[in-house]
Amino acid sequence: MKSKSIFLLKISVFTIFIGRAYQHIFWDVPYRAILWYESIMSPLLCIFDIQWSAFVNDTAVDTKIQVVIKGIGVLYLIAAILVLQLDEVSKKGSKRFIKCIIFWQFVVVFLFTKESFFQIGQYFEHSLQLGLPLLLLYAYSSSYVKEKAILILKILIAITFLSHGLYAFGFYPVPGNFIDMTISIFGVSEEVARTFLWIAGAIDVLILPLLFVDKVMKIVVMYAIFWGLLTALARIVANFSMDFPLQTLHQYGFETIVRLCHGLGPLLLFFMLNEEEKVLK
């Protein structure tokens, strides 16, 4: 993988980790979806002779949970810094640390999925967020093959857009924030917003097969770059307040940052395809 591509891949992974770091440190992640799940936690608490009612009603416990969440955020921050410094001669300890955070990413996404009543589309909507860090480690491995990396990246992009499209298309209940953002940005009625999302969702679904058709692949990738970045920035644009600009960025900035990979991933694929074409000429 050439320097431009590897740099963009690093930036993509950096935005994922730094976004989650900010979320953990300043906001919240639904760890309580598991920690306050009685059928799971009660047997564990019995080992330490702790009653379930005492656990859920103790404010000190909740404070400790919040401290642990912030601590995980610091670990994400460290991983983000290590990603920028990663190279072929990086210490094994750095790569192991990044692997641990990658593993934790899967846990975090599972929590989001549980919060969404285990809708499988919610999990796979995070495919780029889960897969790009793994692709970065693969790029620095001795078994790296560029053609395989391109195929993996195509699959990650296709699954991410397909899953996102299933929500906009209405296969799953259309999230209220999708509708609210569309109304806020374009100033349209709810009916028009739903129609717009249906069309956008249908296009997202079509990306899966079309991304593997050579004749239209480049066009599909360019659309994915545009739409991926637009949907990421929509979190800030739709909720931006001129009266409280810093508060808006604080509240919604991490949601945009962590989703930038939805546009940067296709951009990376565009670069890699161009590099491949130059090699073949």
Q: How far is C-alpha 102 from the geometric centre of its chain's CA atoms?
A: 12
| Longest CA pairwise span in the chain (Å) | 70
Residue with tokens 């739709």: 238
- pLDDT tens profile 258-267: 999 999 999 9
> Does pLDDT of 136 surpass 80?
yes
Separation of alpha carbons 30 and 116, rounded Å:
11
Q: How confident is the model at residue 35 (pLDDT cuts 50, 70, 90)?
A: confident
The pLDDT tens digits for 168-220 are 888 898 998 899 999 999 999 999 999 999 999 999 999 999 999 999 999 99
Mean pLDDT on 139-167 = 94
Residue 36 has pLDDT above 70, yes or no: yes
> What is the spatial distance between Cα 164 and Cα 128, in angstroms, rounded to a whole number?
12
Per-domain residue ranges of the chain: 3-280
Token duo for residue 29: 């992640």
Question: What is the spatial distance between Cα 83 and Cα 136, in angstroms, rounded to a whole number?
Answer: 9
Q: What is the pLDDT of residues 58-77, one digit of tens each?
A: 888 889 999 999 999 999 99
How confident is residue 88, by pLDDT bands cut at 50, 70 and 90?
Answer: confident
Tell me what percent of the residues of the chain surpass a pLDDT of 70: 98
pTM of the model: 0.93
**Contact indicator for 98, 83 with CB cutoff of 8 Å:** yes
Q: Which pLDDT does position 16 carry in this prediction?
A: 98
Q: Is 166 within 8 Å of 127 (Cβ atoms)? A: no
User: Which pLDDT band holds residue 12 (cuts at 50, 70, 90)?
Assistant: very high
Cα separation, 102 vs 20, in Å, equals 12
Round to whole Å and give the CA distance between 154 and 111: 26
80 token code pair: 């983000």
Which amino acid does the sequence have at 189?
S
Q: Output helix, strand, coil percentages for the chain, rounded to the nearest 5.
A: 80, 0, 20
Task: Determine the Cα–Cα distance for residues 152 and 259; give it in Å rounded to an integer.
Answer: 19
Kindly indicate the confidence band of residue 51, based on its pLDDT and cuts at 50, 70 and 90. Answer: confident
Q: What is the pLDDT, as a whole number, of residue 32?
A: 85
CA-to-CA distance for 41 and 34, rounded, in angstroms?
Answer: 8
Which amino acid, residue 271? F
Other C-beta atoms closer than 10 Å to the C-beta of 132 total 23
